[in-house]
A = this chain, B = another copy of it.
């Protein structure tokens, strides 16, 4: 694997799994007051389009990164609505 591919993989891993501590924080504190609902709607919509984009191109890294990111952020959205 070349340097640039490795760089992209590390970048994708960092941005994808950064949402796990956010999810766990809301889960534990049962509070999501400061997390913007508008951000979650726009972000989830955008990530869903990225996922469709990846499926069209059959690009596994785009599908994987955005699939996992969407999974985490849909749970964050559900928790945001639940703890409103």
Q: Chain A residues in contact with chain B, CB under 8 A?
A: 4, 7-8, 10-19, 21-22, 24-26, 29, 31-36, 38-43, 45-47, 49-50, 52-53, 56-57
Contacts and interface: CB of A to CB of B under 8 A. Distances in A.
Contacts of A43: 14-15, 18-19
Nearest to A16: B46
5 contacts: A15-B47, A16-B46, A21-B38, A21-B39, A34-B34
A25 B17 contact: no
Contacts of A52: 7
B21 A56 contact: no
Given A14-B42, A22-B36, 20 more contacts: A4-B56, A4-B57, A7-B56, A8-B49, A11-B47, A11-B49, A15-B43, A16-B46, A19-B39, A21-B38, A21-B39, A22-B35, A22-B39, A25-B36, A25-B39, A26-B34, A29-B34, A32-B34, A34-B35, A35-B35
